[in-house]
Structure 1
């Protein structure tokens, strides 16, 4: 009898170890980084390929692990109950329940799962081969269970087949970036760059273009010498050329082409502007930044005119404008240091009305909405439903706004600051 009890206890110990293995494997395989496992598999790691195949069908994987875990736990509990009943009688059921609950909880659940969560990728790679065999062995039973579960849920109107992931891969990546930034693992500037890359499909060239009123244009009707002088004095290397009307863009003049033409002749007035200018490239204002960047790369171009649905010129966009959306302002020796933002001593921030809300949010980590307006002036006009005059104040979206500059119907300067916490609580 004693030998039988010892054998049963030894078998119970083995079953608890198997339970710990199943519990730890479940945690490791569900918590493992799919991106890291995929990279290892792509690099030829056989263990990673097995793990990647397992986690492709998580329902099948979890079903097999749970089946194995429940089998060993129930068998261990049954053996323990039998041993304790033979030792202390009917009260052995209580002792077996208490002792097995403690053993399973501590050594078969908490301990292995704690270890697995601390090193999910490493443990997933280590257990992949064995769990693969378990999944293969239990697959008939798991498939039967899956049909029963799906049928039961269908009775209550739940269709698992139609359930799709709520979050896209881009949303998941953005969540990881935000989490890393909140924990201090990612610098704010790096987070802004990564977020901007993810936003390239949502931002159009209209949001980043140089507006037509700020474009530097050349009148083709001017004398050649004046045109050459304008090109030399301009801080830009590419300049649109118009004929008769500023809306009639007929080409683009590159500073290098002008320099080559000047080198070829002793008299700049003899340069044929028509011969050295290139055709203008027109793109719709609804083009996304990703589409435009790909177009720039495929055409080996850096410059395009932006038009609306009626073909009217709205502005121009360059490759640098798109890159600045990702890395921030790119300045050179010809750029002025004015970025349109000035912090005042009284807590207000003075902002150019043409500054985009997205740039303002990125700079100060604010959350002003940009769905209805792309610039700060546009947001104030949209929310106030008027064109404010200098001195008017507004409060919306948790911010104070004061108009301090206006030119005709354009808001040129606006002061903005977050509403003080005590003011919010007082309301």
Structure 2
């Protein structure tokens, strides 16, 4: 076609060409807006709104009603696409006759896919926050106008789905807030934006409501306690030699905890005039014990510690029998973990071997291993690594027995009576995902 012919074509059909161009741009606007407002970071928008950005406030209002927003944008997008295709079909029919329908369909498909779908959506998804702020005002105006129609359409959709037993609520997330936060932190860690130590601390906070005291307590078999009937000199020596500032006091049986002795109270008592260790009555300086059920979750127990301004509690089961002890520090360690280089292993009872294996005491908690070594061993059915081996093997293994599950090879190195006291763990084959 010559230049003169092209100019004549534009002069004749400029209204149709201009209309199609405007409608394609409108479709691109709706497509990009839908993508940006769906992918926008709610936390980032909240921060911008708090800092005084009025457009961020408009974006927040839009995404609070996602069903109404998406419905309105889809209505605008489809209207623009259908109308532009209709005008193009009419134009091509006048130019090419009956074959114009096929030519118009082909041409508009290419134009709409490239310029009204892929291009604006790619642009929007690359910078969703910036894009959302840029289109906030016109999108808000459009939703105000078309919103009632969108709500009517959504109501029809809900009624149709209800006929098939599908109840579609307005704002229901498939994930809880904690799950969304955990997923975001894990994703950012894999992308390198969040270091492992920060991921573990944030994960520890999110896990508080899911863990019970039985998961982190010092079990009664490892608990250091004082017999109230021991000679006063032996009691004083045991307290002063202990690395702990608080120790439970029992009489008759370990299930009969009658108090908690604080080393500072002992020192105050010994500092009294004419006070000799052999004359000390340890029961009088002991504080009243605080008993808590082993099913209490860590979040509630942390709040209870802070509310009562106490650091120490005795954990009992449903029958009132002592199961162990828990301290405020135990819960805080679930959040902050160990202060060490993220590649070092500094858990008590864990030793890295030169051959790549790890020698572990049976009583080491699974959660501590997972955190230090970035493993994913399950801790739903067992608290310690020895408990996991017994649970998966469904027996009490003998020494030198080996088992493979969850991608690890577990070798029993030492057993005392019915307790596994030492294990060697090394990587197994990639297919070792199930117990063998």
Tell me the TM-score normalized by structure 2. 0.88
Match of 1:8 in 2: 16
Any conservation in 2 of the 1:224–1:268 contact (CA below 8 Å)? Answer: no
Q: Aligned partners of 1:339, 1:281: CA distance in 2, in Å? A: 28
What do the CA deviations read for 1:2-34 (whole angstroms, capped 9, x no partner)? 645223322322222212111111111111112
Q: Which runs of 5+ in 1 are unaligned?
A: 332-336
Name the stretch that deviates more: 282-291 or 46-55.
46-55
Cα displacement (A) at 1:219: 2.3
Deviation at 1:39, TM superposition (A): 3.5
Aligned residue among 401, 406, 413 for 2:410: 401
Q: 1:108 aligns with which of 116, 136, 156?
A: 116
Q: Which runs of 5+ in 2 are unaligned?
A: 1-7, 341-345
Aligned partners of 1:251 and 1:277 also within 8 Å:
yes
Aligned to 1:214: 222
For residue 135 of structure 2, give the secondary structure of its aligned residue in structure 1: helix
- Bigger shift: residues 31-40 or 348-357: 31-40
Match of 1:300 in 2: 309
Counterparts of 1:88-103 in structure 2, within 5 Å, are 88-103=96-111
Aligned equivalent of 2:299: 290
**Aligned 8 A contact 1:265 1:271 in 2:** no
Alignment of 1:27-426 (within 5 A): 27-161=35-169, 164-269=172-277, 270-329=279-338, 339-421=348-430
CA RMSD of aligned residues (A): 2.7
Decide whether the 8 Å contact of 1:218 with 1:241 is kept in 2. Answer: yes
SS of the residue 1:165 aligns to:
coil
Please identify, of 69-78 and 312-321, the stretch whose mean Cα deviation from structure 2 is larger: 69-78
Corresponding residue for 1:334?
A: none
Matches of 1:423 and 1:296 in 2, distance apart?
42
Aligned residues: 421
- Distance (whole Å) between structure 2 residues aligned to residue 147 and residue 338 of structure 1: 57
Per-residue CA deviation, residues 261-286 of structure 1 (Å, 9 max, x unaligned), is 33332533355534432111111111
1:164 Cα deviation from its structure 2 partner = 4.4
Distance 1:215 1:155 in 2: 60
Q: Deviations over 1:273-328 (max 9, x none)?
A: 34432111111111111111111111111111111111111111111111112222
